[in-house]
Amino acid sequence: MNPISILRIFLLLSVVFIVSCSKKAVDSVYPPDITEARQWLRENGGIFKKEELQINLSRGEKITGKLNWEEAKRLSYKGRDYIDIPYVFSQYEKILPGSEKIPPVSYNLVLRKNIKGEYEGALRTTQYHVMAENLTIGGDQPVMLQSYQSKDGKPLNMWVGNEGSENYKVARRYIYRPTK
């Protein structure tokens, strides 16, 4: 092997080593706003600080979900930016199965910056296949129900929408009635 080929191999390996060890390459695993949001959560996240959520299933079993930052999504709604992070449960992934009386459900942590530039967080609970009476055409139809709770556990708001649609409306009033 001639000296120029050895020099080229050495330069190539040096560049690969430098790039693989650079801080910029490591930081690019998460976008800066997600990294910043995660740090805020660890310091100020209230009941969500541990990045875990424990749920009691209908049959009495307790399971723990963990935030999956690799699947965090950045969303915009009415001019505000949100970070949506799903909780993943080892046995069930993102959606916990329902039962005869309880619909399937998923949990996400939703973070956003307020007007002052400070983060706010809320737990979103999404219930799938909730049967609701359609007052326009009559009869029951499956809907998706989303409710939000603050990091202190206080209820915030609720949205309802058609299954498989992004068309949600604020749920102003709900009347719960037992199923037959």
Q: What is the pLDDT of residues 109-145, one digit of tens each?
A: 999 888 888 888 899 999 998 887 777 777 787 888 8
Residue 37's closest CA among 117, 156, 152, 157? 117
- Average pLDDT (145-173) is 73
Pair of tokens at residue 111:
């973070």
Phi, psi of 17 (to 5 degrees): -65, -45
Torsion over CA of 59, 64, 69 and 75, rounded to 10 degrees?
A: 40
pLDDT of residue 91: 83
To which residue do tokens 């609720």 refer? 158
CA 177/CA 180 separation, integer angstroms: 9
pLDDT grade, residue 89 (50/70/90)? very high
pLDDT at residue 40 tops 60: yes
Percent of the chain with pLDDT over 90: 18
Q: Which of 138, 55, 67 is nearest to 102 (CA)?
A: 55
| Domain limits, the chain | 1-29, 31-170
pLDDT number for residue 24: 41
